[in-house]
Amino acid sequence: MMRLMIGGTLVMAGLAAPASAQLGQVAGRVRNAVDAVDQVKDLIITEQEEMAMGAAISEKLRQKYGVVQNQAVHKYVSLVGHVLAASSTRPALSWTFIVLDTDGVNAFAAPGGYIHITRGALALIRNESELAGVLGHELAHVTQKHTINAIRKSKTLDLGTTALSRSQLLDRVTDAAYESLLENNFDRGDENSSDEIGIQLSNAAGYAPSGLGSFLTKLADRNKDLQERSGVFASHPETKSRLDRLKSQISSKKLTATATVAARYTATITYAPTPVTAVATAAPGAAATPAAPKPGDSRFGLGGLTSRLGGEKTGNQTVASAGSRGVNPDRDAKGGPNPRAVAVTITAADIAAFRQGITG
């Protein structure tokens, strides 16, 4: 067996055929592999495709962790999120906020405006400014298109050895983006950028920009006995240097908002935090993947795109694991049984009234 690595794509060819035929086959596969890698580097994704990608990733996350079936909680989180999004660079995006039903402390920003936060994270958070800090950070990952850009730069995306149609390529990119989100695989520059943008969004809404740092401090204390970083912000810079950077940015940018809104938060969010040592986990590999699409039924074909933008399918399937990795208490936390999305309606009047509770 002949093996060639091209831009992270493994090309394999048998040696049973005559030498000239073998070389021709290998050369053809190498050309196809190089073409596929170039496709990713040059990939321009439309907003409609970005939304379809985010919907597909969100469906996988919901299947893995389940969804809290509480409309009041979803509306509350959505109101905080929409207040922040109004000051972002993409205020017109169809932002969707989802509370995942797991004790693990985590948050995920899928392309197209799908922001997920876990019940465990809400339990650790103690006021609205901390929630705004976390959501603002995740919003920034979307507005800056960090997930899509990370996949463009990736050298490990499995593209196979044959030419891909656009819909097939987008399917591969979506699957890779999902795995990347599970592993919190943003680079340090993206994380620092999201921190800075997130606290500015919080401040613009009237929230104390120190909320993110307050949450990070509690998270670091919760995880102090872990051997490896876990869950949300797992790939971020070390906590102390990150907190120092946040304080410096708050000072240099003159971010002076002060609202924490603790009473409204604790009146709405009543979950008790679970110690990291008590988080029940599912062994990696225990989860299954949603049924593979039938030929011609790519999620990025016209029919697949329409179905995802019009309403996501749910079922009893769960998402694929990342393989042979070790158990991580937040990433591999067990989820609830119901993946059904909870629909909420947010009006301009709702947002205006909610803002009054921040700024008075």
pLDDT tens track for 74-95:
999 999 999 999 999 999 999 9
Tell which residue, 200, 199, 275, 190, has the closest CA to residue 233: 190
Locate 324 and state its tokens.
């042979």
Tell which residue, 71, 143, 76, 157, has the closest CA to residue 114: 143
Q: What's the rounded mean pLDDT across residues 166-181?
A: 90
Decide if pLDDT at 34 tops 50: no
Tell which residue, 213, 209, 215, 186, has the closest CA to residue 197: 209
Predicted pLDDT at 232 = 55
Locate 140 and state its tokens.
């920034």
Predicted pLDDT at 229 = 58
> Beta strand 2-6 with 96-100: parallel, antiparallel or unpaired?
unpaired
Predicted pLDDT at 22 = 42
Query: Lowest-pLDDT range, 151-155, 233-237, 243-247?
Result: 233-237
Rounded to an integer, what distance in angstroms lies between the CA atom of residue 260 and that of residue 358?
8
Rounded to an integer, what distance in angstroms lies between the CA atom of residue 283 and that of residue 210?
36
Confidence of residue 41 (pLDDT cuts 50, 70, 90): low
- In the chain the beta strands, taken as DSSP E runs, fall at 2-6, 9-13, 96-100, 107-110, 114-118
Those residues with Cβ within 8 angstroms of residue 40's Cβ, 6 or more apart along the chain or in another chain: 151, 152, 154, 157, 159, 169, 173
Predicted pLDDT at 40 = 61
Class of residue 222 by CB neighbours under 10 A (exposed 0-12, middle 13-18, buried 19+): buried
CB 108 within 8 A of CB 61: yes
How far, in Å, are 71, 98, 132, 233 from residue 76 at the CA level? 9, 11, 12, 23
Higher pLDDT, 130 or 285: 130
Instruction: Write out pLDDT tens, residues 343-355.
Output: 999 999 999 999 9
Q: In what order do the strands lie in the sheet with 114-118?
A: 96-100, 114-118, 107-110
For the packed helices 71-85 and 188-205, what is the interaxial angle rounded to 10 degrees? 100
Q: What's the rounded mean pLDDT across residues 209-235?
A: 80
Predicted pLDDT at 343 = 95
Instruction: Write out pLDDT tens, residues 276-304.
Output: 999 999 866 444 344 334 444 455 543 33
Decide if pLDDT at 6 tops 90: no
Rounded to an integer, what distance in angstroms lies between the CA atom of residue 345 and that of residue 150?
32
Those residues with Cβ within 8 angstroms of residue 120's Cβ, 6 or more apart along the chain or in another chain: 102, 103, 104, 105, 106, 271, 273, 274, 279, 330, 333
Confidence of residue 359 (pLDDT cuts 50, 70, 90): confident
The residue assigned the tokens 């995920």 is: 108
Q: What's the rounded mean pLDDT across residues 196-216?
A: 97
CB 167 within 8 A of CB 298: yes
Residue 100 has phi, psi (to 5 degrees) of -85, 145
Rounded to an integer, what distance in angstroms lies between the CA atom of residue 252 and that of residue 258?
16
Strand partners, 335: 102
Strand partners, 100: 67, 118
Decide if pLDDT at 119 tops 90: yes
Tell which residue, 156, 120, 174, has the closest CA to residue 305: 174
Rounded to an integer, what distance in angstroms lies between the CA atom of residue 110 and that of residue 107?
10
Predicted pLDDT at 328 = 86
Confidence of residue 218 (pLDDT cuts 50, 70, 90): very high
Q: What's the rounded mean pLDDT across residues 36-50?
A: 75
Mean pLDDT of the chain: 80
Instruction: Write out pLDDT tens, residues 49-66.
Output: 999 999 999 999 999 999
Rounded to an integer, what distance in angstroms lies between the CA atom of residue 81 and that of residue 51?
17
* pTM score above 0.85: no
Query: According to the per-residue pLDDT averaged within each range, which of 30-44, 133-147, 320-334 is highest?
Result: 133-147
Our measurement of the distance from residue 108's CA atom to the centroid of its chain's CA atoms, rounded to an integer in Å, reads: 3
Predicted pLDDT at 226 = 81
Rounded to an integer, what distance in angstroms lies between the CA atom of residue 119 and that of residue 99?
6
Decide if pLDDT at 37 tops 60: no
Confidence of residue 156 (pLDDT cuts 50, 70, 90): low
Read off the DSSP letter of residue 113: T
Confidence of residue 322 (pLDDT cuts 50, 70, 90): very low
Decide if pLDDT at 111 tops 80: yes
Predicted pLDDT at 188 = 85
